Amino acid sequence: MSKKKRTGAALAAAAATLAAGLAGAGPASAGPVTLGLDYQCTFPLLGPQPVRVELGADVPGQVGVGAVMPGIVVDSVSTVNAESTRALTALDAVTLEGSALAEATLTVPEMPDGLPVAVDSALEKTRLPASGEFTVKGRGRSPDLTFSEPGPGKITVGDLVLTLTPRTTDGGPSGLGTFESECTQDPGQNNVLAEFFVVDEDGENPTGEYAFALDGSSGIKASGETLPLTGALGAAIDGTSLTADLALGPSKTGTRIFGFLPVTVDVAFAAQGETTGTLKDGALTTTSKVVTRLPSFSVFGVIPIGGGDACRTAGPSDLTLTSETAFDPETGGALKGTYALPPLTGCGALTDVLSPSLTGPDNTINVTLTPKEAGR
């Protein structure tokens, strides 16, 4: 990828964060979207203060290789709290203006490790109220882009540095002069501004049979424990369609009952029918139905308290996995997803105690498929 294209792509990521010099976050699809992100911005005399940003954009869901992706227009409204208003008006400030330096990262197949960038943006001059919170509006537009490789792409946003000048009624600077305010994202937020696909409309998908080794883990929300995963996937790819046989090996995990007793759990899996999916423009999606069996529960790993041949989830889990980056069946790749574990049945007298310690929604799964052999 040329230096000019890398620079343009980087500016696209950062320009999307520039509305009011502050950025929203969350995945975007084709069409308008409204997103929000919380920051802590450090102001003179006050220290860290909360700033809420609401972002609106119209992001295309896909763009062709070599085609022009039109610039993304991003509007935002940033809300500053009443405490900041009191501090500014106490120094006779009546307006606020300035600029912002926004961090962003663009990840596409030709830049899989991401390209960090920082871009300046002018803030709209804003009149301050006598009291209460106030808002700052802004608009940013990314340049037109061209990508050279197919696959998934995403734009993430990071922290901000604001350069602000409060002004008095005569237009001169207030007692604060011009100052910088560093803004840090509150932790635990999704900072993906947009996800999209670069598609090769003239390219051909691989066709043939492939065998993969599977390795990874699942995070069980109810127990807070990790379940190691191993196995194999034999896949047949025909154009954009995929069918596969999934085999997961036995495993072990842990949990607690009554809030304090540690329990070791033997786990086995039974796939229900074929795995199906699609592979298009480097984006792999697979869907499987899997019943989880629990042959043994033992306190301290020694004293059996449940399990057996009939111990299993009451129904199959629907496992939908998607590739994290462009997936090539010749080299494999990573997939991730979330799923629910249905309640347990047939596990003995303590079934009603054991079931809630493991089952429920929002379990995570991350696996890597590595080719064992590939043939066409």
Contact 86, 92 (CB under 8 A): no
pLDDT at 201: 65
pLDDT at 375: 40
Asked if 190 and 271 sit in the same domain, the reply is: no
Final residue of a domain: which of 178, 199, 220? Answer: 199
pLDDT tens digits, one per residue of 28-77: 334 566 778 899 999 888 899 999 877 777 767 777 788 877 776 767 77
DSSP letter at 71? P
The answer to whether residue 232 is domain-embedded is yes
* Distance in angstroms (rounded) separating the CA atoms of residues 261 and 357: 11
State the burial class of residue 291 (Cβ atoms within 10 Å of its Cβ: 0-12, 13-18, 19+): middle
Asked if 131 and 215 sit in the same domain, the reply is: no
Asked if 218 and 88 sit in the same domain, the reply is: no
Asked if 232 and 365 sit in the same domain, the reply is: yes
The answer to whether residue 24 is domain-embedded is no
* Distance in angstroms (rounded) separating the CA atoms of residues 340 and 271: 15
Cβ atoms within 10 Å, residue 186: 12
Asked if 92 and 115 sit in the same domain, the reply is: yes
Which candidate, 166, 137, 182, places its Cα nearest to that of 43?
182
Does residue 357 sit in helix, strand or coil? Answer: helix
Asked if 59 and 115 sit in the same domain, the reply is: yes
Q: How many separate domains does the chain show?
A: 2
Asked if 231 and 367 sit in the same domain, the reply is: yes
For 50, phi and psi rounded to 5 degrees?
A: -75, 140
Asked if 285 and 188 sit in the same domain, the reply is: no
The answer to whether residue 25 is domain-embedded is no
Q: Which domain holds residue 110?
A: 30-199
Final residue of a domain: which of 199, 223, 257? Answer: 199
Asked if 246 and 332 sit in the same domain, the reply is: yes
* Distance in angstroms (rounded) separating the CA atoms of residues 297 and 347: 9
Does residue 58 sit in helix, strand or coil? Answer: strand
Contact 32, 56 (CB under 8 A): yes
Taking only the tens of pLDDT, the chain with its 376 residues reads 333 333 233 233 233 333 333 333 333 334 566 778 899 999 888 899 999 877 777 767 777 788 877 776 767 778 889 998 998 899 899 999 988 777 778 788 888 888 787 666 778 899 999 999 998 877 766 667 778 887 778 888 888 888 889 999 999 999 889 999 899 999 999 988 777 777 776 656 677 899 999 999 999 999 999 999 999 999 999 888 999 999 999 999 999 999 999 999 999 999 999 999 998 877 899 999 999 999 999 999 999 999 999 999 999 999 999 987 778 888 888 999 999 999 999 999 999 999 999 999 999 999 999 998 644 3
For 295, phi and psi rounded to 5 degrees?
A: -65, -25
pLDDT tens digits, one per residue of 1-24: 333 333 233 233 233 333 333 333
Final residue of a domain: which of 177, 199, 221? Answer: 199
The answer to whether residue 128 is domain-embedded is yes
